[in-house]
Structure 1
Amino acid sequence: MILDLDIGNTLSKWRLKDADSSEIRSRGAVWTREEWRPGSDIPDLDVVEAVRISSVARRAVLEETVSLLRRQVGVVHVARSTPEALGVVNGYEEPARLGVDRWLGTLASYQLAGGCCSVDCGSAITIDFVLPGGRHLGGYILPGLRLMKESLQLGTRNVAIDPDSEAEELLLPGKRTVEAVNHGIYMAAVSAVNRIYSEVCDREDVALPMLLTGGDARVVSRGIQVPHAVWPDMVYGGLEACFPLTAAERAGKMSGAPRIPPPVSLEKIRAALAFSMLL
């Protein structure tokens, strides 16, 4: 089995992948902590032959995790943000400072779609762009839905946005404080993603496909105005591309990769952008 770990600042996600069939056998998530308890927090390491790790948590968390795993697993791969990988040139002035989850998402989306806009809707919403030739432009970071809600301190933090709500409903004025908060932060998030996408495509003279991932991708997706796909395993896809361990991965296949809808024309993007500027 292959254990893939996506360690965030608050939540750590894992999945077990069959090394022979490339099938995902199980997955889960635990709160990120510096001291891990084998057995209760992570899968049975006796069946694991290799581990791949993406981590944006504190260094102590990563070091403790790697130390635990290397005592029981023969192969441990830790992803790093590099100046260049898999045909993509990192757009950061200091490439190592780009969050590795963003880097892996960018690499995965580029392998799947070529030039792409990748949006990670987690604790923060990150938006990264890579052009068809592989030049990563950098990106944008804004508060995620939960962080925006917590910043208001109105006692509504535990009332989540219903992921099954229609976008039209979430964009209406709220008639209770909880609704007003949820609809307001939703409007802020989807408006930012839509506007940033249009501005960058206009400036770079290219219409890019869009991929969404992260815990809030499903609900944010409902308010995105351009064709896009949701790929929950995008970061894992980056790990697969960087450290291919199965026959399918070595052939370029990434787990759960969606069909990419073609983007709308650049003319339509510019027309919508021009209209929004008139309002």
Structure 2
Amino acid sequence: MKLLVDFGNTRLKWASVAADGQLRPGGVFAHADVPLVAELRREWGGLARVQSAWIASVVSSAHEQELAAFVRERFGLAARFVRSPAAALGIRNAYAQPERLGVDRFLAFAAAHARHARLQVLVSAGTALTIDALDADGSHLGGLIVASPQAMRLAVVAGTARVDARGGQFSQRPRSTADAVVTGSLYAAAGAIERFRASLVAAGETLPPILLGGGGADELEPLLAPVERVHDLVLHGLALWAGDAAAAGAPADD
């Protein structure tokens, strides 16, 4: 069994791939305010016959080392940390320094491209809001990193004396400060997505589809409809990577 880990800024998600090649859902937890090793012991206590552990990480080196040490202790394995390459899995990285592209974004591209090769916009509403374009040939056309709606709201509240977003709700014409802050953050995010999408085609041409995922997707979806909701693209991309690397006999990277 291959263990797959998406180690994000806020949450750690994991899954596994059995001998039949199917992705098996695992679990997810917010790791910022919990002892990582204690939580992993609970999450992985029942796992057996783990043959390799593949990690897509955007966290600090210290957190990676903590995870790697636990993988070695628990399974006797070297954790294999994936880094964004210039090209792999049918994807061509647009960054001049390929490793600077978050590996979560690269793996999501690979999963989306394998699912449907076309011009498309990938939106991940997580700790940050990422917006990327991928063409039918698998070329990354560039992308944006924007403050998430939640981060926008926190910034407004923190930087002003009498603004409070508690209890705020989306409204097309807000008539309270809290509603104005919440609605403004969502309009700002949706506007960035739509403006970026429109830049990909000539005026009057059909706009490419939006693939929307991440923990903040629910509140954005009504402003972007229709969208295609996607789940666990990073883990699906990591499964593709692990399968490709295993076939090529890639060594562990710890």
Q: TM-score range by the shorter chain?
A: 0.7 to 0.9
Superposition TM-score, scaled by structure 2 size: 0.81
Report the TM-score when normalising by structure 1: 0.74
Q: Is the 8 A contact 2:56 2:104 kept in 1?
A: yes
Residue 204 of structure 2 is aligned to residue 230 of structure 1: no
**SS at 1:72's partner residue?**
helix
Instruction: Give the one of 141, 153, 156 matched to 1:152.
Output: 156
For the 8 Å contact 2:168–2:178, the answer to whether it is kept is no
Residue in structure 2 matched with residue 200 of structure 1 by the alignment:
200
How many angstroms does 1:175 deviate by? 2.4
Structure 2 letter corresponding to 1:69: V
Kept after mapping to 1: 8 A contact 2:14/2:25? no
Alignment counterpart, residue 103 of structure 1, candidates 102, 106, 124:
106
Counterpart CA distance in 2 for 1:43 and 1:29 is 12
Task: Sort the Cα spacing of 1:82 and 1:133 in 2 relative to 1 into closer, same or farther, 3 A.
Answer: same
Kindly indicate whether residue 46 of structure 2 is the aligned counterpart of residue 42 of structure 1. Answer: no
CA spacing shift, 1:159–1:94, aligned 2, 3 Å? farther
Among all aligned residue pairs of Structure 1 and Structure 2, give the percentage whose two residues are the same amino acid. 27
Q: 3-state DSSP class of the match of 1:235?
A: helix
Equivalent position amino acid for 1:188 in 2: A
Q: Is the 8 A contact 1:46 1:72 kept in 2?
A: no
1:29-87: per-residue Cα shift (whole Å, max 9, x none)? 13147852365553216425032211100111112211210233246332210000111
Q: Which sections of structure 2, spanning at least 5 residues, go unmatched? A: 158-162, 248-254
Alignment of 1:127-166 (within 5 A): 127-153=131-157, 154-156=163-165, 159=167
- Specify the code of the residue in structure 1 equivalent to 2:110: L
Does the CA contact (< 8 Å) of 1:3 and 1:48 recur in 2? no
CA–CA separation in structure 1 for the residues paired with 2:49 and 2:171: 46
Does residue 239 of the first structure (1) align with residue 238 of the second (2)? yes
Superposed CA offset, 1:85-142 (max 9, x none):
1111100010000011111111111111213211111111101111112221121111
Q: Distance in 2 between matches of 1:61 and 1:41?
A: 18
User: Structure 1 residues 180, 206: closer, same or farther in 2, change over 3 A?
Assistant: closer
User: For residues 65 and 88 of structure 1, what CA distance do their matches in structure 2 show?
Assistant: 28
The answer as to whether partners of 1:14 and 1:29 remain within 8 angstroms in 2 is no
> Residue deviations 1:195-225, cap 9 Å, x none?
211112338x775332111101122121115
- Taking the TM superposition and a 5 Å limit, the aligned residue runs for 1:57-206 are 57-73=59-75, 74=77, 76-115=79-118, 116-153=120-157, 154-156=163-165, 159=167, 170-202=170-202
Aligned mates of 1:155, 1:11 — CA distance in 2: 26
